[in-house]
Amino acid sequence: MPEKPNKPISYFGPIFWIHLILIVLAYSSPFLVSWWLIILGILILWVQYYFAKGDLITQAQFGKDLEMTFYTPYIEKTGLKINRRLFLIFIRYIMPFIVLALATVWQVWLGNRPFWF
């Protein structure tokens, strides 16, 4: 059973904007940084998930609900019902590989260089 947040949720506070910027950078990373840095980022993210039992920024914004993602409250606020557990698995484990696959295609197969590193 997910833990209920013990504080009011701040949907669009400063943590939201920091989180949003980091997510946009992560999804843009195939064009910004080398594919091997993306692998390193994925590994760091998974270490955080393991030791912190989730995403630290999500926990700061929404509490320690173990099935919460950045997107979950906004999707549920629209009235859509999602399977939180499956969505969590998709965001944590499938999306990083989609980003890495895009980086591999863009950089290795198509021979494009990343913008920064």
* Lowest-pLDDT choice from 10-19, 35-44, 105-114: 10-19
Both structure tokens of 87: 């969505």
Q: Which pTM was predicted?
A: 0.86
Rounded to 10 deg, the angle between the 14-32 and 35-52 helix axes is 140
Instruction: In whole angstroms, give the CA distance from residue 74 to residue 93.
Output: 20
Q: What is the pLDDT of residue 4?
A: 54
Q: Is residue 74 part of a domain?
A: yes
8 part of a folded domain:
no
Q: Which two tokens stand for residue 53?
A: 């039992």
9 within domain boundaries: no
Q: State the residue for tokens 């995403």.
A: 55
Residue 65 included in any domain: yes
DSSP class of residue 9 equals -
Q: Which long-range contacts (CB under 8 A, 24 or more apart) does 10-17 make?
A: 10/61, 11/73, 11/74, 11/77, 13/61, 15/57, 15/60, 15/61, 16/61
* pLDDT tens per residue across span 77-93: 999 999 999 999 999 99
Question: Max CA-CA distance within the chain?
Answer: 49
Q: Is residue 67 part of a domain?
A: yes
Does a structural domain hold residue 66? yes
Q: Domain residues for 25? A: 14-109
| 19-23, 60-64, 70-74, 97-101: least confidently modelled range | 60-64
Domain count along the chain:
1
The set of residues, in sequence order, having a beta carbon less than 8 Å from that of 29 and lying 6+ positions away, is 37, 38, 41, 99, 103
Specify if 42 maps to a domain: yes
Q: Which residue do the tokens 């198509």 mark?
A: 110
In-domain check, residue 4: no
